[in-house]
Amino acid sequence: MTETILVIAAHPDDEVLGVGATVARHAAAGDAVHTIIVAEGATSRDAQRNNAARVDELIALRQSAAEAAAILGTSQPILLGLPDNRLDSCDLLDIVKKIEAVVDRVKPSVIYTHHAGDLNVDHQIVHEAVLVACRPLPASPIRAIYAFETVSATEWSPQQTFLPNHFVDAGPTWQKKMAALSIYESEMRPFPHARSLEAVEALAKWRGSSVGLNKAEAFQIIRQLQC
């Protein structure tokens, strides 16, 4: 039975960092994979949000998101374009309504989103908005919600509350994840920065070795429902 998957990420690149190998496996298995990217990226690098000053970067990020999705085999991402690293300036309800509209349309069975304990404020807010938009109402199609980890946000939290209890073998689609990440060259940093290709691979090896695999993506189960 094929599934409908919905990834809800804060920024362009989070969807690949957190769940790229797993969604590529879903896509290869024939599942429909949709992605929402809530914030626009890049504009938090200025003291004031100034989209005009970052227009070339914003266009490039949108293009990167589209190319990464093509590599992973997923649908073209839905870009909400909200302010980067300033989601706390938006009403939570407005974010919830935008996510709800997509959930109502695509009727996902599985959701992947950010971990609540990430250092990044946008990640925290997206997590909260997703839980509200995906609340377990009668007849909801959603049977599972998983939180992914995002290098340079999850492990930077002083609380270290990400406790993985669901693992996906990333070996079969690792090269697709690496190829998709290389599209986001502007967002990646040289090692030993946590958001480097080397660190992403080291994490995958560590998560894999935790469960007897060469590489894995790790998740924390938020909710699972078996009917």
The H or E element containing residue 220 is strand 216-224
The site that binds Zn ion (CB under 5 A) totals a number of residues, namely 3
For residue 1, the Cα-to-chain-centroid distance in whole angstroms is 24
Question: Least distance in Å: CB of 81 to Zn ion?
Answer: 15
Task: Please list, in sequence order, all residues whose beta carbon lies within 8 angstroms of the beta carbon of residue 15, skipping any fewer than 6 positions away.
Answer: 7, 9, 23, 35, 37, 65, 68, 77
- Tokens 């998560």 belong to which residue? 207
130 and 14 Cβ atoms separated by less than 8 Å: no
Q: Nearest residue by C-beta to Zn ion?
A: 11
Question: Least distance in Å: CB of 9 to Zn ion?
Answer: 7
45 and 85 Cβ atoms separated by less than 8 Å: no
Please identify, using beta-carbon distances, which residue of 37 and 169 lies nearer to Zn ion. Answer: 37
Stretch that binds Zn ion, among 5-13, 64-72, 139-147, 164-172 (CB under 5 A): 5-13
> Judged by CB under 5 A, which of 6, 7, 11, 19 binds Zn ion?
11
Please identify, using beta-carbon distances, which residue of 14 and 217 lies nearer to Zn ion. Answer: 14
Does position 166 interact with Zn ion (CB under 5 A)? The reply is no
Question: Least distance in Å: CB of 159 to Zn ion?
Answer: 18
> Judged by CB under 5 A, which of 8, 14, 78, 111 binds Zn ion?
14
Q: Is 205 left (phi over 0), alpha (psi -120 to 50) or beta?
A: alpha
Distances (CA, A) of 227 to 31, 108, 224: 20, 16, 10
Does position 115 interact with Zn ion (CB under 5 A)? The reply is no
> Judged by CB under 5 A, which of 6, 8, 10, 24 binds Zn ion?
10
Please identify, using beta-carbon distances, which residue of 61 and 170 lies nearer to Zn ion. Answer: 61
Give CA–CA dist 225/141, Å, rounded. Answer: 10
Binding-residue pattern over the window 15 to 54 for Zn ion, x denoting contact by CB under 5 A: ----------------------------------------
Give CA–CA dist 81/156, Å, rounded. Answer: 25
Does position 215 interact with Zn ion (CB under 5 A)? The reply is no
What residue ranges bind Zn ion (CB under 5 A)? 10-11, 14
